[in-house]
Amino acid sequence: MTCSSEPILEVRNLHIDFTTEEGRLPVLCGLSYALPKGRVLAVVGESGSGKTVHALSVLRLLPPNAHVSEGEICYKGQNLALLSEGELRRIRGGKISMIFQDPAASLNPVLTIGQQLTETLLAHRKISKEEARRQAARLLEKVGIVGAAKRLEEYPFQFSGGMCQRVMIAMALALSPDVLIADEPTTALDVTVQAQILRLIKQLQAESGMSAVFITHNLAVAAAVADEVLVLYAGRCMEQAPAEQLFKNPLHPYTQGLLNSLAPLHQKVDELPVIAGHPPVPGKTQAGCPFAPRCPFVSEKCRKSCPPLFEENGRKTRCWLREVHA
């Protein structure tokens, strides 16, 4: 089946299960979105909501016990599931790149930074080793690493966490990809370095015109980088809307709870409101809306039947409260 060629990346009705000793457990249930060229989509949710699983599925990097049971992932109209491993290698890194959570763990400790950067360039481009090194140095300069030519000879342990993440960004952008997937790229960094990395990613994305999927559990991070936000909970999209609209007027009780729990910038508070209860165990199924046990507006209908995604004014909300508005 051929997907629409309009979005640069399109996920359609994606279902992912994990095979365990207890049987097949669903971890992603019907995720869909379309990412246009030059736009940034933030996928937000708590741990276990399916954010990283979705990201790995785009590049077919899921662990062996994970299965795409239904749905499609399309790049420029091509269903990635139908590509051979050789065809996928040309897209992976060359057209769609990924930045992972832990930069230090993602770099090979026994290879120099220069070896790792030039390896990426030489694998995809017909250039000499000398030219690859020149391009690698320019990439390090582009991401703000001083003395780039000399630092190509150094190893990852000689770089700070923030510098390692800059190297990972350089590697991800080395081949000028159409789509960048950033999976919690600032989680392992302190607050000051987080802000620097976010500004860098946003600047490079704007300069290159590439599209990006930014995965985070932090709504403040999403607000800083995203054009559109998709809120995941227990493997389902709860709300999707343009970022400005979502932060100004969140419609789903879960999104409202997440925003209410953020600390105000210029106001001292003794205690922040929290969402009561706990997220469901990943893969555990239940009747009704997955957020019903924690929702302050829950009704009997919520406990018995999971709502569809209601669409109104370009927004999507999975909540029975929106039924009358759709």
Instruction: Note whether residue 26 is domain-resident.
Output: yes
Domain of 197, CATH number, reads 3.40.50.300
Which residue segment(s) compose the domain that 55 sits in? 9-95+175-322
Adjacency order of strands within the sheet including 66-75 = 23-35, 9-20, 66-75, 78-79
Instruction: Note whether residue 192 is domain-resident.
Output: yes
Instruction: Note whether residue 265 is domain-resident.
Output: yes
Instruction: Note whether residue 153 is domain-resident.
Output: no
pLDDT in tens, 217-274: 888 889 989 999 999 999 999 999 999 999 999 999 999 999 988 766 556 666 777 8
- Residue 70: phi and psi, rounded to 5, are -165, 155
3-state secondary structure of 262: coil
User: What per-residue confidence (pLDDT) applies to 132?
Assistant: 95
Instruction: Note whether residue 318 is domain-resident.
Output: yes
Instruction: Note whether residue 136 is domain-resident.
Output: no
Instruction: Note whether residue 254 is domain-resident.
Output: yes
Tokens of 12: 């359609």
Rounded alpha-carbon distances, angstroms, from residue 247 to 67, 224, 231, 232, 310: 34, 11, 12, 15, 18
Q: Which residues of the chain have pLDDT under 50?
A: 1-2, 4-5
Radius of gyration (Cα) for the chain, nearest Å?
A: 21
Q: How far apart are CA 230 and CA 215, in angstroms?
A: 10
Instruction: Note whether residue 69 is domain-resident.
Output: yes
Total domains in the chain come to: 1
